[in-house]
């Protein structure tokens, strides 16, 4: 019996040490698992910025979009929930102060020492639109400035935004920096091919003018040596005066304009009025400010919509 007791003591000691070791390994593995499983939380403002970011990070981050499809991006006002979502994020990405005019004021309420803020258009030279007094509507304050914020509608400037986003994410998430660079380079190649398609389509065109309801395509026009003539201003909801409509009608007739372009997310009433007045057809030109979840699930993205825009523009640019 004494021998059994002497053996029991070391056996119990070994078992106790093994138990401690097992507990230590379990804690370590759980901590390691949590670190590996954690994804950077990214909040973006509207669709193009969301899609650019998604192509860079793919499934390696948690991405959300603040402004849903069908919402007028220019006039968006952030709720307390939106402010909280930005503060809770690791990274906040937006197009520009000129597009998301609410961002500068919102960031004053955000602790930016805890959130990396990326202005995707940083370094891009904006186009200043000269507007006559006749074009300006009484009480129209939001777009009284003449800065055009629609830089993403140029495939070349889209590449610049992708690079800025990628570099910002690399600083915020160093662990995945190399992966972000690789993904960004691959997506940039797709945007380069899109640019080449636009160049080839318009290279020898004689008619290089197109008429739009929404003056959103100045960067695209500048990139490919085209001329955009707009019915309304930078806001898709701005209504032109009767005198402006008459002027545009005469312009369309004199210059053999066969199409007027309107965006599918806004009312086409103004474009329809001018089309009836000038006896010309309507076509869609999408500024890509919102792509619905249903469309995304069906495979619609920035590049696909831009290709649709290209086919639509070919009706005028010949």
User: What's the pLDDT at 12?
Assistant: 42
Whether the pLDDT of residue 222 is over 90: the answer is: yes
Predicted confidence (pLDDT) per residue in 272-283, tens digit: 877 887 788 889
195-209, 239-253, 287-301: least confident range: 239-253
User: What's the pLDDT at 235?
Assistant: 54
Predicted confidence (pLDDT) per residue in 76-98, tens digit: 899 999 999 999 999 999 999 99
The domain 203-313 belongs to what CATH superfamily?
Answer: Nitrogenase molybdenum iron protein domain (3.40.50.1980)
Predicted confidence (pLDDT) per residue in 106-149, tens digit: 999 999 999 999 999 999 999 997 554 444 443 344 444 479 99
Domain 40-124+145-195 CATH class label: alpha beta
The separation between CA 91 and the C-alpha centre of its own chain, rounded to angstroms, equals 15
Domain with CATH 3.40.50.1980 in the chain: 40-124+145-195, 203-313
Pick the closest to residue 116 from 95, 94, 96, 92 (CA basis). 92
Greater confidence, 254 or 112?
A: 112
Across 218-242, average pLDDT: 80
Predicted confidence (pLDDT) per residue in 18-31, tens digit: 344 444 443 333 33
User: What's the pLDDT at 74?
Assistant: 74
């Amino acid at each position: 019996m004494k021998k059994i007791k002497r053996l029991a003591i070391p056996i119990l000691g070994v078992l106790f040490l093994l138990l401690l070791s097992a507990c230590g390994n379990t804690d370590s593995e759980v901590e390691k698992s949590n670190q590996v499983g954690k994804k950077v939380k990214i909040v973006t403002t509207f669709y193009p910025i969301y899609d650019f970011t998604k192509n860079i990070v793919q499934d390696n981050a948690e991405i959300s979009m603040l402004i849903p499809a069908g919402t007028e991006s220019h006039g968006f006002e952030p709720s307390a929930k939106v402010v909280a979502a930005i503060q809770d994020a690791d990274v906040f990405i937006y197009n520009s102060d000129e597009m998301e005019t609410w961002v500068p004021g919102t960031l004053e309420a955000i602790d930016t020492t805890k959130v990396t803020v990326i202005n995707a258009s940083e370094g891009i030279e904006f186009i200043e639109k000269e507007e006559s007094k006749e074009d300006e509507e009484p009480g129209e304050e939001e777009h009284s400035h003449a800065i055009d914020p629609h830089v993403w509608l140029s495939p070349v400037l889209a590449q610049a935004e992708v690079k800025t986003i990628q570099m910002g994410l690399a600083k915020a998430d160093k662990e995945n920096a190399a992966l972000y660079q690789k993904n960004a380079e691959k997506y940039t190649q797709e945007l380069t091919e899109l640019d080449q398609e636009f160049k080839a389509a318009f290279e020898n065109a004689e008619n290089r003018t197109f008429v739009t309801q929404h003056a959103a395509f100045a960067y695209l026009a500048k990139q490919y040596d085209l001329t955009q003539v707009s019915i309304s201003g930078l806001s898709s909801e701005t209504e032109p005066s009767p005198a402006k409509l008459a002027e545009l009608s005469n312009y369309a007739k004199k210059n053999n304009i066969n199409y007027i372009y309107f965006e599918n997310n806004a009312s086409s009433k103004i474009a329809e009025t001018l089309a009836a007045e000038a006896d010309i057809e309507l076509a869609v030109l999408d500024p890509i400010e919102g792509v619905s979840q249903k469309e995304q699930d069906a495979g619609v993205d920035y590049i696909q919509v831009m290709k649709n825009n290209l086919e639509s523009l070919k009706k005028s640019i010949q």
